Amino acid sequence: MPGPNVEPPIPAENEPAGAGAPGSAPTPEIKPWQTRVASERRRKRRRAADQRQTLGQLTVAAAVAAVGLNAALFLQTGIAQLGPAGVDQAILSVVNALVPGTGLRPPAQGPSPSPGRPVVTTGGS
């Protein structure tokens, strides 16, 4: 004997109440309250699925934001303490430690002076 918590059958969507396959035993008549309950249950299921999808997107966005913020704060602390050149040097030392043999070097500070004689320019307007 079914208990009080047994759920009523859910009518399929777009199927008129009481419709069955030809030749099969007649299906019991579905009452209006059962249709309402079924529709409410479908709506709840849809809402739950929507929330789960949003949850996945929100989690990925939060993880990306956290990693991005961490990188920004990393650079901020480095620049505040060492200056931009020091941060370049620190990042390169990490890269060189992780991937030896890259030969990466910080950029030179400015153009080197010409080794030849200075060019004398005359005239001009």
Partner 1 sequence: MISTPSPLWFLDRSAGEVTLLLMSAVMILGIIRSAVPTAFPILIEGTHINLALLTVAFAGLHVLGAVLDPFARLGPVDALVPFVSAYRGTWLGLGVISGYVYAITVVISWPARRFPRATWVWLHRSMYVAWVLALLHSLGTGTDANNELFLLLNVAAVVGVLVAFLGFRVAEGWTQLPPVWAALAVVAIAVTLGIAVWAVDGPLQPGWARTSGTPPDLLRSR
Rule CB under 8 A: which residues touch partner 1?
48, 51-52, 54-55, 58-59, 62-63, 66, 69-74, 76-78, 80-82, 90-91, 93-94
* Nearer to partner 1 among residue 52 and residue 117 (C-beta): 52
Q: Measured from the CB of residue 38, what is the shortest distance to partner 1 in angstroms?
A: 21
Distance between CA atoms of residues 15 and 13, nearest Å:
5
* Nearer to partner 1 among residue 39 and residue 70 (C-beta): 70
Picking from 103, 74, 101, 102, the residue whose alpha carbon sits closest to that of residue 90 is: 74
Contact indicator for 84, 92 with CB cutoff of 8 Å? no
Q: Measured from the CB of residue 117, what is the shortest distance to partner 1 in angstroms?
A: 42
Report the Cα 31 to chain-centroid distance in Å: 45
Q: Measured from the CB of residue 96, what is the shortest distance to partner 1 in angstroms?
A: 12
- Those residues with Cβ within 8 angstroms of residue 9's Cβ, 6 or more apart along the chain or in another chain: 30, 34
Distance between CA atoms of residues 101 and 87, nearest Å:
20
* Nearer to partner 1 among residue 39 and residue 53 (C-beta): 53
Q: Measured from the CB of residue 105, what is the shortest distance to partner 1 in angstroms?
A: 17
* Nearer to partner 1 among residue 31 and residue 44 (C-beta): 44
